[in-house]
Amino acid sequence: MSIREKLRVSPGQKIHLDDIDPDQVDGIDDKSDAKRDLREEVEKISDLQEALYAESKQALLVVFQALDAGGKDGTIRSVFSGINPQGCHVTSFKAPSTLERSHDFLWRIHQAVPRHGTIGVFNRSQYEDVLIVRVDNLAPKSVWKPRYEQINHFEALLTSARTRVIKFYLHISRDEQKERFQERLDMPEKHWKFSAEDLEKRKQWNDYRKAFEDVLERCSTEEAPWYIIPANRNWVRNLAVARVLRETLEEMDPQYPTLENFDPSSYVID
């Protein structure tokens, strides 16, 4: 079974996050092996991305969502450093601006999707509009409820235009979150990452869990699947994400363009 089959959420599958082990992935057992394997995966991803860029006929959009301290920043740094940034754009979505709030929720998202030839990475995404918005009652249910389907339609539109969409939920335990918050408090160089607001959100742990389960159940499609990544251990998480990415890019099979009727000997450079 490929790692994608192991970690992918099937369309309509019921999800109980408490039943999913956040510690392990079959086949990723040894830390130093995993670090070496990650380097190899990143090199392969880098090569595939160069071909994608040369080809310029399809794109890949990679979405990361997680609870606070789930490791979105760390995953992006570990997996995407080593990729040519000319063909890889990361967009971090924060609370929407006044201008963005005066549009539909997908307006700012649409502007950030990758163009053909490139990989787009979303650190948070359209899914915040059915996560924090739902948990904190930032919009009534009549507004956020239709969004699951609106998101599915939006992602189908991207897919139809040869932008492949894959989505990673980084799955950590409540204890692991506590440890990571405590580390931010204990280490002066990590203080800047700490926010009292994070502790408030931690109190809503169960509400967020439920909101994530609904996202995973309703928005994992054949074309734009969700992957649940066990993320308590960074080296397991990084390698799992890199493998899914590499396999996806291999399936997309980007080709260096060949020019039709191109006769190099007809050109003389003086």
Summarize as ranges the residues that interact with a copy of itself (CB under 8 A). Answer: 46, 54, 73, 76-77, 80-86, 88-90, 92, 121, 123, 178, 181-182, 185-186, 188-189, 191-192, 194, 196, 199, 202, 256-259, 262, 264, 267, 269-270
Q: Which is nearer to a copy of itself, 16 or 94 (CB)?
A: 94
Q: In angstroms, give the least distance from the CB of 203 to a copy of itself.
A: 9
Give the separation between CA 236 and CA 228, rounded to whole angstroms. 12
Sign of CA dihedral 30, 36, 40, 41: positive
Q: In angstroms, give the least distance from the CB of 75 to a copy of itself.
A: 10
Q: In angstroms, give the least distance from the CB of 95 to a copy of itself.
A: 15
Q: Which is nearer to a copy of itself, 137 or 182 (CB)?
A: 182
Strands (E), the chain: 59-66, 88-92, 119-123, 163-171, 226-230
Q: In angstroms, give the least distance from the CB of 108 to a copy of itself.
A: 14
Token pair, residue 77, equals 């740094």
Give 70's DSSP letter: S
Letter for the amino acid at 38? L
Provide the 10 A C-beta neighbour count for residue 207. Answer: 14
Q: Which is nearer to a copy of itself, 73 or 217 (CB)?
A: 73
Q: Which is nearer to a copy of itself, 80 or 105 (CB)?
A: 80
Give the separation between CA 67 and CA 205, rounded to whole angstroms. 9
